Structure 1
Amino acid sequence: MTEAKDTPRPLAGKVALVAGATRGAGRAMAVELGRAGATVYATGRTTRGHVSEVGRATETIEGTAELVTAAGGAGIAVPTDHLDREAVRALTGRIDREQGRLDILVNDLWGGDVHVGWGKKMWEHDLEKGLRVLRLGVESHIVTSSFALPLLIRRPGGLVVEVTDGTEEYNRRYREPFYYDLAKSAPIRMAKGLAEELPEYGCTAVCVTPGWLRSEAMLDTYFKVTEKNWRAGCEQNPHFAISETPVYVGRAVAALAADPDVARFNGQALSSGGLAKEYGFTDVDGSAPDAWRYLTEVEQAGRPADTTGYR
């Protein structure tokens, strides 16, 4: 789709790295940052010539970069395993050579679902798979920040977005199993830690979570539906009615990145639904789902599924 010439470009001239941009939330964040005018380096492990352990060959970083460019930004695909320190060093060196700056770092690295032993106690869980979950969901973020932050702090106004699943309040509950709980709590703590270290450079760190995300895998693997008929998934779980597209959290991150006063959120764990109230954007259908409030007040409370007042 061709963008209108008068589409606002609040991020024109800005450079973003979306680490983990192959699909889902990461892809949408990259595209929405591009729509706002940013140059976006989209990284991940699945390319048109190589499929990662996630096993989804049709979603590639090249595809993401093309969508970024089509949206009005400049998309640059760089195959990167973010557990490979030399690969990440080379990635940030390339950004430095080509752009001389980095304004936005989004750590959306994951890919651990295939290793999670759902329903297993800690001692029953395969240890190597559990440690792989932590490497993919925690170590990868740390490696990326270690190499990217020296470039980001060169200029004031830099933004780091750690991405997780669940708000800080919701994640006070045990997000079983053990390794998943650790992997999804860690980004909140990483954002808080960086929020203590970045302000002297004029930079900000936050953590962002989507709600119940209608990712490609959620749609076709778990619910056996498409985006066009996604409501059919409510027959399996009526609470799926509160779900949201990846675009919603993409818009949330783009709004944060374009906010000159984003430092007011430094160290906070934010949600797509909460940020929609702050900035006034909606999901693609014009609704504004507040999934985590719904999941707490309706699903967790054992009430019948009813999204009235929640989207």
Structure 2
Amino acid sequence: MGTELAGKVALVAGGTRGASRAIAVELGRAGATVYVTGRTSGSHRSEVGRPETIEQTVELIEQAGGKGVAIRVDHLDPDQVSGLARRVEAEQGKLDVLVDGVWGGDNYLEWGKPVWQHPLADSLRMIRLGIDAHIITSHFLLPLVVREPGGLVIELTDGTAEYNAEYREGTTLAFYVAKAAAHKLAIAEAAETAEHGCTAIALTPGWLRSEAMLEIFGVTEQNWRDAIANQPHFCISESPTFIGRGVAALAADPEKSRFSGRTLDSGTLAKLYDIDDVDGSRPDGWRYMMEVERAGKPADPTGYR
């Protein structure tokens, strides 16, 4: 276990799987005490319906030499989030790092349907998960983050501000709005917490090899390159650990406030802090997606990892 974040307290909301899980593990590896919240706990499954649990995330934190605490929370329920804040305050008296990775809305996305054809209930559910849950979380937990100078708030999203400046063709209105909202959440949180010496950013991984993505492509982290035959642009994909390492480095940076209000990505963090992915490469996913995939060029990661 590292000591860069020794004595720090972190909370990863929605830390059940994917980027959020890896961030929780790497924060713990760096020495922070990490609270992990989510809805899939024990035998209870959230609407996502996947098997990963918050307890398993804590097990991974402990295997990395860190300390984790799993608490089942629905971040759309103000009473539950208020109770979470009271517990963290009672046990720690502060919160140094808040990572809001709450989502779980992918199952509601019907690709390529305009808003009038997309099921209304599903559209509104994505908005609730991507915006309402994040505001509820900030309302109750930011008072702990701003208690001491140097706090860090991260709004996880999908896409850089530049990429999301245009409509995400092939998705649908609610998904696009939910993900683009993170950029504005970070701007607002940065402004409202500035006098307390707090840093707030939005952050996106690149093409993430999450548990669900690996399952979709029928590969594992060990043989993920086999999926490139069917989806050539998967050549730029990255492991969840990549963004986790970046967040741990950012949290330990005494000058992180220079990024407040901005949207960062895993590739940018890797350059800033000299970080490699688990295979020793350094994927620059969103630059690739802007300059190669969106530009309609043939898949080729040369110069991008």
Give TM-score, length-normalised by structure 1: 0.96
> Does the alignment pair 1:44 with 2:38?
yes
The one of 5, 19, 28 aligned to 1:25: 19
Residue 173 of structure 2 corresponds to: 178
Q: Residue type matched to 2:190 in 1? A: A
Distance 1:177 1:91 in 2: 33
Residue 207 of structure 1 corresponds to: 202
Distance 2:150 2:16 in 1: 26
Using the TM superposition, give the Cα deviation of residue 75 of structure 1 relative to its aligned residue in structure 2, in angstroms: 0.4
Superimposed CA distance per residue, residues 36-75 of structure 1 (whole angstroms, 9 cap, x where no aligned partner): 0000000000012201110112x10000011112212210
Q: Residue type matched to 2:245 in 1? A: R
Tell me the SS of whatever aligns to 1:198.
helix
Distance 2:238 2:285 in 1: 8
Q: Residue type matched to 1:140 in 2? A: A
* Number of corresponding residues: 303
> Does the alignment pair 1:138 with 2:131?
yes
Using the TM superposition, give the Cα deviation of residue 183 of structure 1 relative to its aligned residue in structure 2, in angstroms: 0.7
Q: Which blocks of at least 5 consecutive residues in structure 1 are unaligned?
A: 1-6
Residue 299 of structure 1 corresponds to: 293
Superimposed CA distance per residue, residues 84-133 of structure 1 (whole angstroms, 9 cap, x where no aligned partner): 11000011100000011100000100000011121111100100111001
The one of 201, 213, 216 aligned to 1:218: 213
Note the 1:71-90 alignment, pairs <5 A.
Answer: 71-90=64-83
Distance 1:103 1:72 in 2: 19
Distance 2:269 2:20 in 1: 17
Distance 1:138 1:26 in 2: 17
The one of 275, 279, 282 aligned to 1:281: 275
> Does the alignment pair 1:54 with 2:48?
yes
Superimposed CA distance per residue, residues 132-153 of structure 1 (whole angstroms, 9 cap, x where no aligned partner): 0111111111100100011111
Tell me the SS of whatever aligns to 2:222.
coil
Using the TM superposition, give the Cα deviation of residue 28 of structure 1 relative to its aligned residue in structure 2, in angstroms: 0.2
> Does the alignment pair 1:168 with 2:153?
no
Superimposed CA distance per residue, residues 255-307 of structure 1 (whole angstroms, 9 cap, x where no aligned partner): 11000000010101000001100100110001000011101111111111110
Q: Which blocks of at least 5 consecutive residues in structure 2 are unaligned?
A: none
Distance 2:190 2:142 in 1: 12
Q: Residue type matched to 2:260 in 1? A: N
Distance 1:164 1:40 in 2: 20
Q: Residue type matched to 1:78 in 2? A: I
Give TM-score, length-normalised by structure 2: 0.98
Using the TM superposition, give the Cα deviation of residue 8 of structure 1 relative to its aligned residue in structure 2, in angstroms: 3.2
Residue 4 of structure 1 corresponds to: none
Distance 2:300 2:283 in 1: 12
Residue 113 of structure 2 corresponds to: 120
Residue 29 of structure 2 corresponds to: 35
Distance 2:2 2:53 in 1: 27
Using the TM superposition, give the Cα deviation of residue 253 of structure 1 relative to its aligned residue in structure 2, in angstroms: 0.9
Superimposed CA distance per residue, residues 181-239 of structure 1 (whole angstroms, 9 cap, x where no aligned partner): 0011001110001111111001110111000000000010x211111111111111100
Distance 1:224 1:23 in 2: 18
Q: Residue type matched to 1:300 in 2? A: R
Identity of aligned residues (%): 60
Tell me the SS of whatever aligns to 2:155.
strand
Residue 147 of structure 2 corresponds to: 154
